[in-house]
Structure 1
Amino acid sequence: MIDSTPESPAIGSRVLTIPHILLKVIRLFEQPDIDFDSLADTIRQDPVITARIIKLANSVYFRQWSEVTQLKQLLVVLGLDTVRQITLLSATEQIFSQVEPQLSRPVAIMWYRSLFCAQLSAELADLIGHTPKEEAYLTGLLHRLGQLSLLCGHPQQYQEQIDITHPLEQVETLERHLFQTTSTAWVSQEMRQWPLHSFMCDAVAFQTLPVEQLTDATPLVRLQALGRLLCDTTEDNLGVARAANLLFGLNADVVQQLRQRVKEKTDAMVHSLTGVETGDGADGAECFISSHDHFQQLLRQQVQQHSVTNVLNSGTAPENKSAAFTRLRRDLHLLFGLDHLCLLKAEGDHLQGYDDRGCNPQLASITLPLDNSTSLAVQTFHHGETLSSLGLSHQSWSVADHQLHHLMDAKALCFIPLPHRSQPAFIAVVRITQAQWQDLQSRKSFLATAAQSAGESLLQIQSHTQQAQQQRQMEEEERHLQLRSAAHEINNPLSIINNYLFMLSQKLDDDPDATAQMTIIQEEMARVGTLVSGLKHLMAPEQTPETSDVVDVTELIEKLHVLLTQSMYKPRQQTLHLELDRSLPPVQCCDSSLKQILVNLLKNAAEALPPEGEVWLTTRDNLHKNGQHFFEIDLRDNGPGLPDEVFSQLFQPVASSKQGHSGLGLSIVKKLVDHLKGEISCSTSASGTRFQLLIPRALPERSEQSHA
């Protein structure tokens, strides 16, 4: 007898199945018009693939509802790419496991019993009106999964001492003696971790109890108990008849007719898969045994067409690092049942904690030098082998090892190198149990292949990201070149216009009003020239050379008032009011930037207002905020306010709804204000919109002394 409770493979991990279903599902995915209905009809014939799908769909990676037990819904939750990957991984695992030939018979028998029980449970559910019928089917399909797991985990002991053709309650007596547990207890415990809130786990856990103890149980528990009895019994049996009457009030004839009908239906399904006739009295499992080698060879050929790398990277390629790391977590969960992962990234001479999900900022502070650190992570990097803290005393751990265990809330960790060529690019740090570590040790070659694929995938994403950044930089440089070229071409006609304006001003020398207006035009043309010269910096105004002028803000606003009132507000029957703080002294500021800010804001206000609308421009000196000294320019109007969709993207470059407008006005305002090291805010309501500008109150040296 084994001295300790056995560590068996987790459900859906290293648990073998018949090759027929795997092959059929893989071939379904080769069809261009595959749909979830046909996929569900095929997958629901196999307990191992179904268990993997239920477990993953109800995990933290995909869980969307409180509970999912409808197989088609599960497939929709996961998506075709993930289901394809689960199938290919199951097939790949089947090949990598190098199954001993003597296991094919018990695996086939268990598979047939599971399918038979699933059909029986579904028919019984239909007969008594229990819903959902699919839940009963899945419970029956999974009822022997623990037995299958114990067989695959301990093939020699199980086959030598247990006859799997015996009824399950007899098998459990031997299992308890051999393993100190039963397959039913083990599988129900595993199912409770998925998690499911239905009574599926209870139905599996209590399926071998005496029927007298189940009379007050839920319908699903009673259904599974009767279905399992019918599955294990090959002929009329008084115990089955008594159970049917006690649990549901069904007579023996009805139950036996149902059993025969389901047997014929199951055998027909077996024939459709194998092409082998069951024959009178032949157990359908024999069909799978006789055709096993043929289908295993076909499956091997199919898997050879999909290298492990293609299996792991099947489906849509990750678009970015976040998607790649999400896929890595999913793959480790699917392949090895590993959860709770963090990453260390190789960067030059050290390993750097990599918080790819942005939920563990402490991880980003971990830096492990590659030349003088004794941590397990660094040892993994240098040796290129998966290491674990299991079996090591805490005293032998480095400080970094202790910190990683604390961050992962783990008693033990394993460190998996994800190499690119011969050098690890990342180290995956995973919380692990003794059973999981033993499983990894027994599958070193498979783990190495999977880790190699994951490392190359992550490096490929990183390479694509760098290429995309280089491409954006080249495009940015091209735009700047075009802007400089445009600025050069525009300056030519501007020079001619300025020359003619000078000659025209000489002729109007005797008219003071015309001379004043001509001066404003010349100043504005000069400003246009300055703006054109700065076009090459428009995309990145922070790179614009610092220009500092002594600006009389009050005078600048009054000139703009004259210009904009005549050219924009008066023609629209609108009014621009000025409320200026005359005590505001001249300040050190970029004249052209401040003028551009005000022009854009006042122009936007005029265009947004209806006829007879009003705008108030107010200045105020001496504002203190967060230890800084500002002056304020406030613009408010009595318009209808900004729409929500405009307000939510206020300072972003968006497509303008106004004909002839670029949609860049407020975006440029924000960039220019930032360049001035100022602040801008906006509030809006149905009674109007308000912009508040705070500009640093930097006084010229002499002025500072006089205002000290």
Structure 2
Amino acid sequence: MLNNHERLMIDMQRIYLKDRSFAVDNLPSEAGLLVELLDLCSNDDAGFEQYTQAIKKDAGLTSQFLKLANSPLYRQWNELTDLKRMLVVLGLKNIRKIIITSAVQNFFSKLAKSKDPQQYQLWLRSLLCAHLAEQIARKIGYPKTEEAYLAGLLHQVGILLLLINYKENYQQILEHYENGRDFCELEQTNYGIDHCEVGATLIESWQLDSLISDAIQFQHSDTEQLLNSPTLLKIVSVASALSSPPDTDVAEEDITKAGDLLQLLPDICLECLAMALDDTKQVLAQLGFPGVHFNEEDSPEAVMQARDQKADELAERIKNIALTHCFLNGESKDISSLVKELRINLDLLFNLKQICFFSLTPDGSRLVADNDLKLAKLDEIAFNLSDKNSVLVKSFNQGQTLDSMKQQGSIIDRQLTRILGAECACFLPVSGKTEKAGVLAIGSSRKELPGLKEKLPLLELLLIEIGKKYLEFNAAEPDEENISMTEFNKIVHEVKNPLTIINNYLYILGRKLEEDHPALEEIDFIKEEMERVGVILANARERQQQPGGAQQVDLNKLIHELNDFFGNSLYNAKEIEPQLHLDLQLPVLQLPENSLKQVIINIVKNAVEAMQEKGSISISTRDNCFQNGNRFVELSIRDNGPGIPDHVLQNLFRPVESTKKGHSGLGLSIVADLIKEMSGTISCYSSQGAGTEFKILLPRLIESLPAD
């Protein structure tokens, strides 16, 4: 593996490897595939399965979806390597955005217009390797077949990156690809790196919980080096060798490698290859390449004619696609939601995060920020249109895209650049047909600025429609609709009823299925998301906090509400029996209800996850507890679970490794911090096999009665 000095990955637009920078945000895709996907985008009945089957044919598009699904925007779902699940997380709207943007980018890309058959052969090899890796995974019983497919599809993504970044120079190197390891040495000689390192760096930049990056980096390693490696690395190494190049006979040494690493007999190995070839030919036929086969003497003219036909068809589609329709076919009803939608879409499709929109004040004298991120510094920034030195003002007045690298600008320009956390800024004017709306400021590093400028034609096309919509909202009368807290609580209550019913039926359905039924995983996924919805609703219904975070809290009532919530979610899955022993004389306390709720939820959730089925959890309250001369209210949460090991008890309220699979152990650390903020104390009593009890002492703070 490369050390930290050799490999450094920065943001999702470029990667940096051994002091070299590689653009990664415009990987090319086959025109025929993009035409197929555009047809799906216009079909309202197209579902996730259809998109999955189409997207998985291409390494470039798969990379875009893999990158986005594992970005911080969607990290709450944990790392994803299953393509269909990625698409479900992203949603159909975002899928269509990425497809249409990719089509437009490929249409304007010189690389996509290239007549060089090398790119086509590269795509064929990736597709064949993907199908072969999947077939091998199934044959040897490797459970993550989708991950094997993705690794095979992306095994040459480093070549795509080198081809994009070095173009004609690298095309000459690519002619020697058939030489295998010698090809990597040739890359090292010319660039000091090879495609395996570049591809692995790209995958690592997505921070996947997967060995795909290692599989790509070590795909050409010797058999002896791979003998003790994880199975995925062996699968990709074998599939890469057998599928590269696809138009020659299978080498005996590659068959031997498959036997040594995966115990595949020669006949089984060739059977997998034959099935992968059939799958790949089927894909080619679907994309409009009839008669193109791997082991026959293909006609280069026929191949390029088919590609040209698809490229022309794609160009015609692009002419009829309004890119901005994809962006602006949202649900924006006012300027605030429009700016938010603009920020999300620029991040989603162009990976532009450092942006700020400046609009014209009603008196037409200044440009001020639409501060959707609520940054205090931005509220103090205003550009006077009389400022002749400001680059942002010049961009607005002249209606031209300008950047701060070519012009020094004014102090306020530099202030804005620092607020954006950038080294320089690019300013794009936004206007309607006849009226100016404002300026979009985009922060950038000096290295990234050339890449940003390549995106300007698409950005400017988008901003034309943004300007029209902005001015339309600006001219309309504000339509403010307020809803009372009582009405909102009624809505939340009505929503929770069907959620409860769905949870119950999911539980019943899960009980009817066998333990190893594949649908159980999907049911668990749905239940997790239903629980997430319930928590969101519970948090949304919080009462208005008083200054300092404290408010009047009826602790017993809060426990009853949470007990009902647990009964329809956490308790249901394991048939947990709840027991409440509440002191009816408990006074109304002055404490932060949000914090109390989080404390109880965290402790109960931890208890349920550690318990077996049909356990019990008891929650009790008690007034008038004295400690060190201070008066407290006691809250106790006790379970009859397996107990907590001694070595865990010693670090219980510190952020350490949890005993529960899949959990970080941060929950009780947060609980301790929240209790401390309330000036309370927490203690734990636990015995192996006898259960655990948490005792919490809360300060007995009650609202003072007004004097007579």
Matches within 5 A, 1:626-641: none
Say if 2:223 is the partner of 1:208: no
Compare relative contact order (CA 8 Å, sep 6+) and give the higher one, 1 or 2.
1
Say if 2:479 is the partner of 1:468: yes
Q: What is the CA–CA distance in structure 2 between the aligned matches of 1:318 and 1:164, rounded to whole Å?
A: 52
Q: What is the CA–CA distance in structure 1 between the aligned matches of 2:347 and 2:558, rounded to whole Å?
A: 49
Say if 2:338 is the partner of 1:327: no
Matches within 5 A, 1:6-405: 7-10=21-24, 13-99=25-111, 101-163=113-175, 165-233=177-245, 234-274=248-288, 276-279=290-293, 281-282=295-296, 289-314=304-329, 316-347=330-361, 348-358=364-374, 360-372=375-387, 374-390=389-405, 396=408, 398-405=410-417
- State the 1:116 CA deviation: 0.6
Q: What is the CA–CA distance in structure 2 between the aligned matches of 1:423 and 1:302, rounded to whole Å?
A: 31
Contact 1:112 1:284 in 2 (8 A): no
- State the 1:275 CA deviation: 5.1
**In the alignment, what sits opposite 2:418?**
406
Relative distance call for 1:406 and 1:252 in structure 2 (3 A) is same
CA deviations over 1:380-437 (Å, ceiling 9, x no partner) = 3233333334477xxx464323433332332333333333336653333333234432
Q: What is the CA–CA distance in structure 2 between the aligned matches of 1:134 and 1:336, rounded to whole Å?
A: 27
Q: What is the CA–CA distance in structure 2 between the aligned matches of 1:451 and 1:33, rounded to whole Å?
A: 30
Q: Percent identity?
A: 25
Q: What is the CA–CA distance in structure 2 between the aligned matches of 1:285 and 1:7, rounded to whole Å?
A: 37
**In the alignment, what sits opposite 2:429?**
417
- State the 1:80 CA deviation: 0.8
Say if 2:464 is the partner of 1:452: yes
- State the 1:346 CA deviation: 2.7
Contact 1:136 1:223 in 2 (8 A): yes
- Kindly provide the amino acid, as one letter, of the partner of residue 251 in structure 2: N
CA deviations over 1:596-629 (Å, ceiling 9, x no partner) = xxxxxxxxxxxxxxxxxxxxxxxxxxxxxx9xxx
- State the 1:189 CA deviation: 1.7
Contact 1:418 1:451 in 2 (8 A): yes
Relative distance call for 1:319 and 1:72 in structure 2 (3 A) is farther
Q: What is the CA–CA distance in structure 1 between the aligned matches of 2:254 and 2:305, rounded to whole Å?
A: 31
- State the 1:243 CA deviation: 2.2
- State the 1:22 CA deviation: 0.9
Deviates more, 1:154-163 or 1:333-342: 333-342
Contact 1:202 1:221 in 2 (8 A): yes
- State the 1:87 CA deviation: 0.9
Q: What is the CA–CA distance in structure 2 between the aligned matches of 1:279 and 1:117, rounded to whole Å?
A: 15
- Secondary structure of 1:427's partner? strand
CA RMSD of aligned residues (A): 3.5
- State the 1:229 CA deviation: 1.1
Q: What is the CA–CA distance in structure 2 between the aligned matches of 1:44 and 1:243, rounded to whole Å?
A: 27
- Kindly provide the amino acid, as one letter, of the partner of residue 236 in structure 1: V
Contact 1:352 1:366 in 2 (8 A): yes
- Secondary structure of 2:442's partner? strand
Relative distance call for 1:230 and 1:81 in structure 2 (3 A) is same
Deviates more, 1:73-82 or 1:379-388: 379-388
Contact 1:312 1:453 in 2 (8 A): no
Q: What is the CA–CA distance in structure 1 between the aligned matches of 2:299 and 2:75, rounded to whole Å?
A: 35
- Kindly provide the amino acid, as one letter, of the partner of residue 152 in structure 2: G
- Kindly provide the amino acid, as one letter, of the partner of residue 56 in structure 1: L
Size of the alignment, in residue pairs? 477
Relative distance call for 1:279 and 1:94 in structure 2 (3 A) is closer
Matches within 5 A, 1:558-637: none
Unpaired segments of 5 or more residues in structure 2? 1-17, 483-546, 548-555, 562-701
- Kindly provide the amino acid, as one letter, of the partner of residue 370 in structure 2: Y
CA deviations over 1:36-85 (Å, ceiling 9, x no partner) = 11111111111112111111122223332220111111111111111111
Relative distance call for 1:280 and 1:329 in structure 2 (3 A) is closer
Q: What is the CA–CA distance in structure 2 between the aligned matches of 1:211 and 1:321, rounded to whole Å?
A: 61
Q: What is the CA–CA distance in structure 1 between the aligned matches of 2:30 and 2:256, rounded to whole Å?
A: 35
- Secondary structure of 2:383's partner? strand
- Secondary structure of 1:429's partner? strand
- Secondary structure of 1:362's partner? helix
- Secondary structure of 1:415's partner? strand
- Secondary structure of 2:287's partner? helix
**In the alignment, what sits opposite 1:529?**
none
Say if 2:456 is the partner of 1:440: no
- Kindly provide the amino acid, as one letter, of the partner of residue 210 in structure 2: S
Contact 1:118 1:141 in 2 (8 A): yes
- State the 1:326 CA deviation: 3.6
CA deviations over 1:80-114 (Å, ceiling 9, x no partner) = 11111111111111222255754452221111111
- Secondary structure of 2:23's partner? coil
Deviates more, 1:422-431 or 1:201-210: 422-431
- Kindly provide the amino acid, as one letter, of the partner of residue 365 in structure 1: E
Contact 2:57 2:283 in 1 (8 A): no
- State the 1:298 CA deviation: 1.5
Q: What is the CA–CA distance in structure 2 between the aligned matches of 1:433 and 1:6, rounded to whole Å?
A: 15
**TM-score for the superposition, normalised by structure 1:** 0.61
- Kindly provide the amino acid, as one letter, of the partner of residue 266 in structure 1: T
Q: What is the CA–CA distance in structure 1 between the aligned matches of 2:350 and 2:179, rounded to whole Å?
A: 32
Relative distance call for 1:158 and 1:334 in structure 2 (3 A) is farther
Q: What is the CA–CA distance in structure 1 between the aligned matches of 2:284 and 2:224, rounded to whole Å?
A: 35
- Secondary structure of 2:73's partner? coil
Relative distance call for 1:53 and 1:285 in structure 2 (3 A) is farther
Relative distance call for 1:140 and 1:458 in structure 2 (3 A) is farther
Q: What is the CA–CA distance in structure 2 between the aligned matches of 1:147 and 1:285, rounded to whole Å?
A: 24
- Secondary structure of 2:369's partner? strand
- Secondary structure of 2:430's partner? strand
**In the alignment, what sits opposite 1:508?**
none
Relative distance call for 1:401 and 1:313 in structure 2 (3 A) is same
Larger radius of gyration: 1
Contact 1:6 1:179 in 2 (8 A): no
Q: What is the CA–CA distance in structure 2 between the aligned matches of 1:285 and 1:462, rounded to whole Å?
A: 59
